[in-house]
Each structure stands twice: as C-alpha cells, then as structure tokens.
Structure 1
Amino acid sequence: MDSLTQIVLGAAVGEAVLGKKVGNKAPLFGAIAGTIPDLDVLARYFVDTVTATEWHRGFSHSVLFSVLFAPVFGWLVWKLLRKKEATWRDWSWLFFWGLFTHPILDAFTTWGTQLFWPFQTRLAFQNIFVIDPLYTLPFLVFLILTMSQKRTSPKRRRFNTLGLVVSSGYLLLTLVLKGLAYKVFVDSLEAQGISYEQISTRPTPFNTVLWTANVETKAAYLIGNYSFFDSRSIVFRAYPKNHELLGSLETNDKISRLITITEGWYTITKEDEVLFLNDLRFGLMSMDPNETKFAFTYKLEPTETGCKVTETPKVPGDAKGLLASLWKRIKGN
C-alpha cells in the first residue's frame, strides 16, 4: 500500500501494543516500523532495473525480516529513550508487529509480497488497489482521535480498536466484491463463447466498484472492465502476446527474470525497431477504449554483453487522463 496507509497502520498497531505504557510514543515508533520495509525502493539507486524490481517487496517484506530486525530496532529505541516505562522486549514486540503487518497488508494488493522469502512465492490476492481512500481515510480519522486522548483514557483504546476493526472489515469486504466481480467476468466469457486458459481480476485505481480482468487465450490477452453500476455486457479487447518478437532475447538472464516477475502476464510491442515488454498485471494507463499504453513498460535494448532493461517513465498527463476516464467508467457503461 502507499506510504500514508502503512504509516497509519503501523501507528495503530504500535498504539495497540504499547499505547497504554508510553502514550503517543507508541504510534510514533509504530509509524516508523510501518515505513521501514518500503526502504527497499532505495535499491534502484544502486542496482539495475530488473534487480531492483526483484528486491521490491522481497526480503524486507518477509516474516524472516520481521523476526530478525524487530529485536534490533527495539534495542535501539530502548537505548535511545532510556526510560523504564517499556522494556527492550516491549519495544521489540512493537517493532515486530509494525514490520509484520506491513507485508500482510501489501499481500492484498496486485504486486503482492514475498512473505516467505527466501522462497520465491509472491502472495498477491489482488483485492485492493495500492491507494484506496475508503481504507485509509476512516483509519486516519480514528488514529487522530486516538492520539488526541490521554494515555489512560478508555476512549483512546476504543478509538484505536475501531480504526483497526473498520479498516480490517473493509479489507474483508473487498474480498467479497472481488468474488462477485470474478463471477460476472467468468459468466460473461462463457456467454460470449470465449475459450481461455486463465483469468486474473483486480480493482482499478482508488476504488473497489470498477474491476478489471486479464484473460489469457492462446495468442492474445483479453482485458475487460466491469463496474457494479454497469447495465451492458462486458467488452473484452485483445492485446497480442507477440512473445516471438523476443527471439534470442527470451533466454537472456535479465529478460527471463523480468518475465518471472510478471508471472507470465506480459506482451511485447515494437516501436521503431525497439522492443518493449508490457507488464499486464497493472493494466493500462486509462479506461479509454483506444488506450495502448500500459502502466508498467520496460524498454529492451540489446548490448554487446546482454541486454539493457529500463522502465519507461510516467508523464504528468498520464494521471490526469486516468482520473477523468476512471470516474466516467465507474458510473457504469
């Protein structure tokens, strides 16, 4: 999830663990704990694009990381504060839950997490977008109300508990909505006589009303959108796989690793003799039926020693176009 959401979750967890003993220091250090796993993004400044992408939500988002580093961070805070209100064990427990709940929440997103690193299995339930105001904002309000109360006030624990219950309840609701959307997609494919090999569904940005499905067929991937306000049938648009365009590059180490990252959901496009690999898991840049640009695209440039892979940058206009088309499509077709 986004940084603000992880800060709020970490703060609420910190409060639940140590709020009664240390007051607002608990949500403060809980917020810090909830931020630490995402520091893996700094890898992009030191390693190549493929390696940085592999490391993102890898070791720092694992159970092993939580177990190993919670006592370290707990000891540092215990030494820093030098107060007897909380022990090293107390602070270690706070950091464990702050570090551990971060990847648990991320596992519900499209990217997922390698929770059981060093095993390569990536958990990705794909039932909530990385930024969802309906999850974060009520949670944030309850956290503010919590921190405004005295440490010993019964309201403090009540507000914090409500924040955790409401946010968790919404997360469970998104799983139900995913199931409902999945059934509609499958029924629509059957009604249209479309034969497919596998299907993957996920919510579109910032909401859980409008859903997208990636559908794999023999030669192409189909992408369709469904809003709970729709009144017409789902239209699936085809995007050729073009995997054969890779040629000998398919066995290149970086390319094969990038394909593994996409879990096989990718297409190859060619522009001015340059190849691009599009990661389908995160969809297109807008809801426009004529949209061809994907959210994550990698430029592939053969070199004397192998292949250079670079992620194509986003431009400010992309977000503006997405929001406008997204709002229109959410209201139904």
Structure 2
Amino acid sequence: MDSLTQIVLGIATAELIAGKKLQNKTFLYGAILGTIPDLDVLVGQFMSDVDGVAIHRGLSHSLLFFVFLAPLLGLVITKLEKGLLDFKKASWLAFWCLVTHIALDLFTSWGTQILWPLEHRFALKTIFVIDPLYTVPLLISLVYVWRNKDSFLRMKYLKRGLFFSTGYLCLTCVLKLIAVHKFEKALMSQNIPFQELMVKPTAFNTVLWNANVATPTGYYLADYSFLDSQPISFTFYAKNRDLENKLEYVADFQKLKQISEGWYLVTEEKDNLYFNDLRFGLLNADSKQLQFAFSYQFVANADGTLRANEVPKKKRDGKMLLQHIITRIKGN
C-alpha cells in the first residue's frame, strides 16, 4: 500500500499494543515501524530499473527478516523508553507493526515474498495500492485518538477506525469473488477457453475491475463495472514469440519474466523492443501506440548487450487514466 496508509496502520497497531504506556508516542513509533519494510525502495534507487523492482517486497517484507529485526528494534525502543516498556513488550510492538504492513500488502496486486527466501510472491489482488475508503476511516479515528488522553476513549475511537477499515478490506474480498464470477460467466458464454484468469481492481476503487485471461496463443483483457448493463467485452493480444526469441539470452528479460509471473507481452515500436507487464493494465489502448502502466524498453549497452529501462510515465498519462476510470465506472 501507499506510504500514508502504511504509516496510519503502523500507528493504529502501535496504539493497540502500547497506547496505555506510550500515549501519543505511538504516533512516532508506529509511523517509523510501519515504514521500515518499504525502505527497500530507497535501496532500489542505487540499482538498475529491473533489479530495483526485483527486490521490492522481497527480503524486507519477509517474516523471517522480522523475526530477527523485531528484537533489535525492541532493544532500541526499550533504551529510549526506560521504565515504560520492557524488552518483550517493545519487541512485540515492533514485530506487529512490521507484520501488519505486509499483511495489508498481501491484499494488493504486487506480490509479496512473505516466505523469503522462497521466491513465491503472495497477492490476493482485492485492493489497489491507494484506496481512500480504507485509509480515511482509520485516519479520522487517529485524529480523535491524538486529541484524547483517556485510555478508554482512545481505544474506543481506535477500534471504530479499525472496524470500518478492516470491514472494508473484507468487503473487497467479496467484491472480487463477484467480479471473478462475472468474468468466468462471460468467458463461458462467449466460448473463450483459457488457462488462467487474473482479476484485480482498478486504481482508487473497487467498483471497476480488470481481468487478464491467459490462453496458449495470447491474452484477453477486459474490464467490468458493477454498474455495467452490457455484456463484458474481451480484447485479444497475441503473444509475440518471434520478438521474445530475440531477447531469449538477455538477463533483464529473464528477470522481468519472473517478476511479472508470466503475465507479459513483448512489443516492437520503431525498431525498439518493449517488455510490458500485463498485471497493472493499460494506460493507452490505442492500437497504433499500445502503452501499458509498467513497460520497459530494451536499450544497448556499450558492449552491445541489452538492458531494460523503465519507460517513464508522464502526468498526462495519469490524468488520462483517471478520466477513463471515472467514465468507465459509470457503466458500459
């Protein structure tokens, strides 16, 4: 999830565990502890585009890492809060602030290696990385927590915020199940055989959902809004095996294949090859210039080998995508 949401959740977790002892200091500790796993993004800034993406939500989001990190952080907190928190309580505080971070990340579309060093990434794909309906109730409850010193009132407001935010998170799971059923029903009615179906929400909402449908020869992409009145329409994109063969021995290509979990298309434009991650949808569906949300261009190094550079996104791309989503949410 986005940094603000993780900070808010970290504070809520810290308050739940140590609010009686630390009072408003939970805002400081919760914000810091809730941010720590995402510091891998800063490390990625010193790496190549592909390697930086590859480490995100890897080691820093693993339960094994937290088992060793939590006691160290607990020791620091104990030193800072002498007489308020013992080592066990401080370590417990650190551990759960870290764990709730990855627990929330599991609901998003970007996989999380909670069992690192195992390579498998877990992703429930029920909520977008930024969703105000999750964050705002929790944020409002924390405002009331900050303004009150009475432990009973603080816990009362905190539980209300957690009730609404967690309730919404559970609701997203139900909405996804409904969306999956709609896509499966549409595929069946249109006689489209498929190997795998991936369904995830679009940006900032859980009303409009995207589907990626894998077949032996390519992918069908489609979207569905709960306000739709017409049948779901699927668009087919063929796998470009000839273009993939040109990249077979390129290291970045093999890494991107693993990162995308096999959901990708290789395209060519003006003699340039592009790797497109299908998991996060299209920015522009123009047949003359197909543009995906996450795309990488292969460029030549000085020694003639190829590396992949992420195609930068422009402000107008985001504005155009948001306008499309708002329009599409209203129905087809």
TM-score in terms of structure 1 length: 0.95
Q: Which residue of 2 aligns with 1:127?
A: 126
CA distance in 2, matches of 1:27, 1:127: 28
CA distance in 1, matches of 2:118, 2:62: 10
Q: Which residue of 2 aligns with 1:144?
A: 143
CA distance in 2, matches of 1:250, 1:291: 24
Gaps in structure 1 of 5+ consecutive residues: none
Q: Secondary structure at the match of 1:18?
A: helix
CA distance in 1, matches of 2:25, 2:174: 36
CA distance in 2, matches of 1:84, 1:322: 53
Q: Which moved more, 1:86-95 or 1:130-139?
A: 86-95
CA distance in 2, matches of 1:202, 1:266: 16
CA distance in 2, matches of 1:291, 1:327: 22
Q: Which residue of 1 aligns with 2:70?
A: 70
**Identity level (%):** 47
Give the deviation of 1:79 after TM superposition: 1.9
Aligned length: 331
Gaps in structure 2 of 5+ consecutive residues: none
Q: Which residue of 2 aligns with 1:167?
A: 165
8 A contact 2:194–2:215 mirrored in 1:
yes
CA distance in 2, matches of 1:32, 1:216: 40
- Structure 1's 331 and 70: CA in aligned 2 closer, same or farther, altered over 3 A? same
CA distance in 1, matches of 2:298, 2:222: 27
8 A contact 1:112–1:124 mirrored in 2:
yes
Q: Which moved more, 1:152-161 or 1:290-299?
A: 290-299
Give the deviation of 1:306 after TM superposition: 3.4
8 A contact 2:19–2:151 mirrored in 1:
no
Q: Which residue of 1 aligns with 2:5?
A: 5
Cα shift readout 1:123-181 (whole Å, capped 9, x = no counterpart): 0110000000111111111111112111x331111111121222111111101100000
Q: Which residue of 2 aligns with 1:14?
A: 14
Q: Write out aligned runs for 1:219-234 (5 A).
A: 219-234=217-232
Q: Which residue of 2 aligns with 1:204?
A: 202
8 A contact 1:75–1:92 mirrored in 2:
yes
Q: Write out aligned runs for 1:1-333 (5 A).
A: 1-81=1-81, 83-150=82-149, 152-285=150-283, 292-303=290-301, 304=303, 306-333=305-332
TM-score in terms of structure 2 length: 0.96
8 A contact 1:298–1:312 mirrored in 2:
yes
Give the deviation of 1:302 after TM superposition: 4.2
CA-based RMSD of the aligned residues comes to: 1.6
